[in-house]
Amino acid sequence: MNKHASILQVKHLKQYYHQGTDKEVKAVDDVSFEIFPGETFGLVGESGSGKSTIGKAIVNLYQPTSGEIIFQDKALSSSYNKKERLKFHKEIQMIFQDPYASLNPRMKVRDIIAEGIDIHGLAQSKEERDEKVNRLLEDVGLTIDHAGRYPHEFSGGQRQRIGIARALAVEPKFIVADEPISALDVSIQAQVVNLLQELKESRGLTYLFIAHDLSMVKYVSDRIAIMNRGRILELAEAEELYANPLHAYTQSLLSAIPLPDPDYERQRQRIHYQVDPEKLAEEILKEVKPNHWLAQ
Ligand SMILES: Nc1ncnc2c1ncn2[C@@H]1O[C@H](COP(=O)(O)OP(=O)(O)O)[C@@H](O)[C@H]1O
Ligand SMILES: [Mg+2]
């Protein structure tokens, strides 16, 4: 991993939404971070903290209020021409939280997975298209005879595998995985996480891995940023963050992770953290240790 040349930079990203005439929601409020090639960068925060908004800005689904996103030394733009847009969407793909909502129920799995192959002209013949789809199905732990079926015939975990195959079909370099396991049974979550890990290694991918708690991200992330109300409160290498959480909010997220030992779980105290919006508004990012950032 080259620590010096990032693959993605998010610089002072802001996304303000207007609800009604005067209500402004600062969904993302001056967020900056960078991700290095081959890295898994965890972005963690409770529901509504702005994680998906950042993910969508990175895949260029939104034009941000302000700020910049630079992918492979090139700034993302809303004014891409068709060719530039196509090239961009081939390199960054998104896996969505809800495997039920993100697959078209009227399309067969083969055509769902091949959508990107068709758009980008990656297969010269029907045979090549089928062959690519079959290989992708196998790569994500499904089988060739799944190709002719519809999404409703699959379990949640299998649907998420279909979503992963669809994302991989265009051979991307970077994947935004937006809570890819949150909607799945706990028993299935580890399988999907393991699959994502294997694929990352075999295909040399880089991930932005979004999660609403710290239970699984530890095992997949190299570095983790903790978000709350549109801001990053703390950013550190995963081991360091778990060993030495500096922000009270990070501590409260850590205390909420279910523990395997039920006796210990009963005795344990939950730390509750309430954000003071006035105070938060004044926060600035300050470096406390090399590679460990805390908003004060
Ligand atoms: N299209 C939208 N219009 C208005 N408000 C939105 C929109 N999308 C998200 N929001 C608001 O922005 C905030 C952050 O949302 P989101 O990025 O989805 O958070 P997360 O993914 O962390 O749950 C929330 O308050 C949400 O209600
Ligand atoms: Mg979200």
Provide DSSP, 29-65. Answer: EEEEEEE-TT-EEEEE--TTSSHHHHHHHHTTSS--S
Q: Is residue 1 part of a domain?
A: no
Nearest protein Cα to ligand 1, atom 2? 17
Q: Is residue 219 part of a domain?
A: yes
Q: Give pLDDT tens digits for 74-126.
A: 888 777 788 888 888 899 999 998 877 889 999 999 999 999 999 999 999 99
Termini Cα distance of the chain: 30
Q: Which band of pLDDT confidence, cut at 50, 70 and 90, is reported for residue 293?
A: confident
Q: How many CB atoms lie within 10 A of CB 80?
A: 14
Distance from residue 22's CA to the centre of ligand 1 (Å): 17
- Biggest distance spanned by C-alpha atoms of the chain: 62
Look at ligand 1, atom 20, and give the residue with the nearest C-alpha. Answer: 48
Q: Is the pLDDT of residue 26 over 50?
A: yes
- Ligand 1: which of 17, 46, 59 to mutate, judged by most atoms within 8 Å of the beta carbon? 17
**Least confident stretch, 61-70, 114-123, 256-265:** 256-265
| For the chain, percent of residues with pLDDT exceeding 90 | 70
Whose CA is closest to atom 5 on ligand 1? 17
Q: Give every CB contact of residue 34 below 8 A, 6+ residues apart in sequence.
A: 6, 8, 9, 10
Q: Is the pLDDT of residue 148 over 90?
A: yes
| Distance (Å, whole) CA 239 – CA 223 | 8
Closest CA to 222 of 233, 208, 237, 201: 237
Residue 22 binned pLDDT confidence (cut-offs 50, 70, 90): confident
Q: Could you identify the atom of ligand 1 that is nearest to the CA of residue 28?
A: 14
Q: For residue range 122-139, what is the model confidence (pLDDT) as tens digits?
A: 999 999 999 999 999 999
List CB contacts of 148: < 8 A, sequence separation 6 or more. Answer: 108, 109, 110
In the block, tokens 């694929």 appear at: 199
Domain-located, residue 269: yes
pLDDT computed for residue 267 by the predictor: 65
pLDDT score of 3: 52
Output the residue whose Cα is nearest ligand 1's atom 1: 17
Task: Give the domain extent around 40.
Answer: 8-295
2 located within any domain: no
Average the pLDDT over each of 147-156, 158-167, 223-232, 253-262 and give the range with the smallest value: 253-262
Q: What is the mean pLDDT of residues 39-51?
A: 97
Which residue, 251, 295, 242, 245, is CA-closest to 273? 251
In a domain, 25, yes or no: yes
* 157 assigned to some structural domain: yes
Better pLDDT: 47 or 278: 47
- Taking the centre of ligand 2 as the mean of its atom positions, its distance from the CA of residue 274, in whole angstroms, is 20
Please choose from 53, 61, 178 the residue to mutate so as to test ligand 1's pocket, defined by most ligand atoms within 8 A of CB.
53
Confidence band, pLDDT 50/70/90 cuts, at residue 266:
low
pLDDT confidence band for 284 (50 / 70 / 90): very low
| CATH at residue 70 | 3.40.50.300
Mean pLDDT of 193-216: 96
Domains in the chain, number: 1
Q: Residue 296 pLDDT more than 50?
A: yes
Evaluate whether residue 26 is within a structural domain.
yes
Residues lining ligand 1, CB < 6 A?
17, 19, 25, 27, 45, 47-53
pLDDT at 65 over 60: yes
The Å distance, Cα 131 to ligand 2 centre, comes to 34
Report residue 261's pLDDT band, with 50, 70 and 90 as the boundaries: low
Residue closest via CA to ligand 1's atom 3 equals 17
Ligand 2 centroid to 72 CA: how many Å? 25
Ligand lying closest to the C-alpha of residue 45: 1
Counting residues of the chain whose pLDDT is more than 70, the rounded percentage is 88
* Residue 281 scores a pLDDT above 50: no
Residue pair 90/122 in contact (Cβ under 8 Å)? The answer is no
Amino acid of residue 288: V
Pairing of strands 23-35, 8-19: antiparallel
Whether 170 shows a pLDDT value over 50: the answer reads yes
3-state secondary structure of 12: strand
3 is a domain residue: no
pLDDT given for residue 2 in this prediction: 47
Q: What pLDDT does residue 268 have?
A: 61
Nearest CA owner, ligand 1 atom 26: 48
Residue 17 CA to ligand 1 center (angstroms) comes to: 8
Residue type, 280: L
